[in-house]
Chain A
């Protein structure tokens, strides 16, 4: 009987400790840097030969996803002259670090093979060229969909990174 009550006491202490942990932890969200606009440079693939349609699809999806969920007032494309007058501009440079062209047929037939995967090194820089944030982002397509769907996955993840780290009003979230 005594051992039973001891076990219950131990369990209660552990449960309370686990429940209290999130309360004692620091702020969950990082402080966001101020950036009212972003300019997306064309995806670079100097070392890895990337099919032209992948490169364009990455770029177009990235622009679209940043417009949709990036949290910027303006999203400028590569070469857009209007970006020169934008305050707090962040420039996104993306370089392909890894690319594995999968097979939609293999995905359909086996469901375990044929994944298309793409890894891109993203650098968010200010107008002076100082790196504010850099991160490798991976895009994948596993089961259904064409190979180009990996570019959509990458774009969504990158837009999420931008949203989590930059804010047009620079408030803590």
Chain B
């Protein structure tokens, strides 16, 4: 009796997980590529605000809920991309599922989706340093970074890569 109850619960958890993941994937594929979440640091914008991120006219433009925020590309000292993962199912469902019997809810935590991070550093008119972090769908950060660099932003990652062979060459030169 106990065994059958366990099997039924497990099957239900599996079905629930499959449904949730399908739903999450469907939502993700229907979104346009430049959807972004301003995780932190964007002036005048609440943390975790969802909106659209574009680069146009030498500016990084984030529009959300009938408002918008701009950053001049030339003011950006550093643009870095990264990647992370997040739960495939929503926060509420994920938290509620923790109460499911036999730890079956934890099963949902195994399913995660990848996302990109776009990290910026810029200085305002007083010279004060600010940092901004955006989360974008997987593969969405690199095109934005390229556009920003093309419009006057800087990055330390390329400079580091360029400096590495140069320093390697210079270290070889005295030996010759």
Contacts and interface: CB of A to CB of B under 8 A. Distances in A.
Interface string A56-97: 110111000000000000001111111000000000000000
A78 B82 contact: no
Select the residue from A80, A104, A105, A108 with max chain B CB neighbours within 10 A. Answer: A108
Nearest to A144: B95
A53 interface: yes
Nearest to A56: B131
B48 to A, nearest CB: 11
A113 interface: no
B110 A105 contact: yes
B28 interface: no
Contact of A61 (B40, B78, B119, B126): B40
Given A79-B123, A79-B127, A53 B109 contact: no
Contacts of A82: 126
A51 B112 CA distance: 20
Nearest to A148: B39
A81 B123 CA distance: 11
B129 A109 contact: no
Nearest to A80: B128
A124 B54 CA distance: 39
Contact of B129 (A42, A51, A147): A42
**Secondary structure call for the B interface:** strand
A56 B133 contact: yes
Nearest to A151: B40
A82 B131 CA distance: 19
A169 to B, nearest CB: 25
B40 A77 contact: no
B50 interface: no
B132 A56 contact: yes
Given A105-B110, A105-B112, A146-B86, A53 B128 contact: no
A92 B49 CA distance: 29
A154 to B, nearest CB: 14
Interface of B: 39-41, 78, 80, 82, 84-87, 94-95, 106, 109-110, 112, 117, 119-121, 123, 126-133
24 contacts: A53-B84, A53-B117, A53-B119, A55-B131, A56-B119, A56-B120, A56-B132, A56-B133, A57-B39, A57-B40, A57-B133, A59-B129, A60-B41, A60-B131, A77-B128, A77-B130, A78-B128, A78-B129, A80-B126, A104-B85, A104-B86, A108-B87, A146-B86, A147-B84
Interface of A: 42, 51-53, 55-57, 59-61, 76-82, 104-105, 108-109, 144, 146-148
